[in-house]
Structure 1
Amino acid sequence: MKKSTSLSNILQLVIPEEKMLPFLEELKYIDVARKFTVYDLFLFLAEAAFQQWEGYRDGEQRMALCGQRSVDHSTLSKKAKDVPFQLFKRLLDLMIGLCNRKTRRVLGIPKELLIVDSTTITVGLGRLTWAPHKGQKAGVKLHVGIIGDQGELHKVTETTGYEPDLKSCPDQLDRRFILVADRSYGKHKLFDSYQEQENRQYFVIRLRDNTTFTNPISRCRKHPFSGSIKQDLTCQLGKNMALSQNRSRVVILEDPKGNPVILATNLHWYSPEGIAEIYKKRWQIEVFFR
Structure 2
Amino acid sequence: MKKSTSLSNILQLVIPEEKLRPILEELNYVDVGRKFTVYDLLLFLGEAAFQQWKGYRDGVQRMALSGLSSVNHSTLSKKAKDVPYELFKRLLNVMIGLCNRKTKRKLGIPKELLIVDSTTISVGLGRLPWAPIKGEKAGVKLHAGIIGDRMELHKVTETTGKEHDLNSCKDLLDSQYILVADRSYGKHKLFDLYQAREDRQYFVIRLHNNTTFTNPISRHRKRPFSGSIEQDLTCQLGKKKALSENRFRVVILKDPKGKPVILATNLHWYSPEGIANIYKKRWQIEVFFRWIKQHLNIPRLFGTTENAVYGQLYMALLVYVLLKFLFEQGNATVHFSAKLTFADFDRLFTLQTLPLEWRIYLADAADIITRI
Question: Separation in 2 of the partners of 1:140 and 1:199?
Answer: 32
**Are the equivalent residues in 2 in contact too, given 1:116–1:145 (CA < 8 A)?**
yes
Q: Residues 187-266 of structure 1 correspond to what in structure 2 (within 5 A)? A: 187-266=187-266
Quick check: which one's strand share is greater?
1
Is 1:120 equivalent to 2:159 in the alignment? Answer: no
Following superposition, the deviation at residue 289 of structure 1 comes to: 1.1
Output one character per residue of 1:112-164: Cα deviation in whole Å (capped at 9) or x when no partner.
00000011100121211111112111100111111000001111111000000
Q: Which amino acid aligns with 1:230?
A: E
Q: Which residue of 1 aligns with 2:135?
A: 135
Distance 2:275 2:133 in 1: 36
Alpha-carbon contact 1:193-1:199 (below 8 Å) kept: no
Q: Per-residue deviation at 1:105?
A: 3.7
Aligned partners of 2:245 and 2:199: how far apart in 1? Answer: 15
Q: Which structure 1 residue ranges, 4+ long, deviate > 3 Å from structure 2?
A: none
Tell me the distance in 2 between the aligned counterparts of 1:137 and 1:176.
38
Which letter maps to 2:136?
Q
TM-score norm. by structure 2 comes to: 0.49
The one-letter amino acid of 1:272's match is P
Structure 1 residue aligned with 2:358: none
More helix by share: 2
Matched AA of 2:204: V
**Counterpart Cα distance in 2 of 1:255 and 1:145:** 24
Partner Cα distance (1:105, 1:235) in 2: 31
For the pair 1:147 / 2:147, whether they are aligned, the reply is yes
Q: For residue 284 of structure 1, what is the aligned residue in structure 2?
A: 284
Amino acid at match of 1:287: V
The CA RMSD measured in Å over matched residues stands at 1.1
The code of the aligned residue for 2:269 comes to W
1:61: which partner in 2?
none
Counterpart Cα distance in 2 of 1:131 and 1:196: 35
Q: SS in structure 2 opposite 1:200?
A: coil
- Letter of the 1:235 counterpart: C
**Structure 1 residue 157 and structure 2 residue 157: aligned?**
yes
Q: 1:200, CA displacement in angstroms?
A: 1.1
Q: Secondary structure at the match of 2:109?
A: coil
Q: Percent identity?
A: 82
Paired AA for residue 236 in structure 2: Q
Shift of 1:265: 0.3
- What runs of 5+ residues in structure 1 fail to find an aligned partner? 1-103
1:173 deviates by 0.3
Q: Distance in 2 between matches of 1:283 and 1:193?
A: 26
What is the rounded CA distance, in whole Å, between the counterparts of 1:159 and 1:197 in structure 2? 26
| Structure 1 position 204, deviation (Å) | 0.2
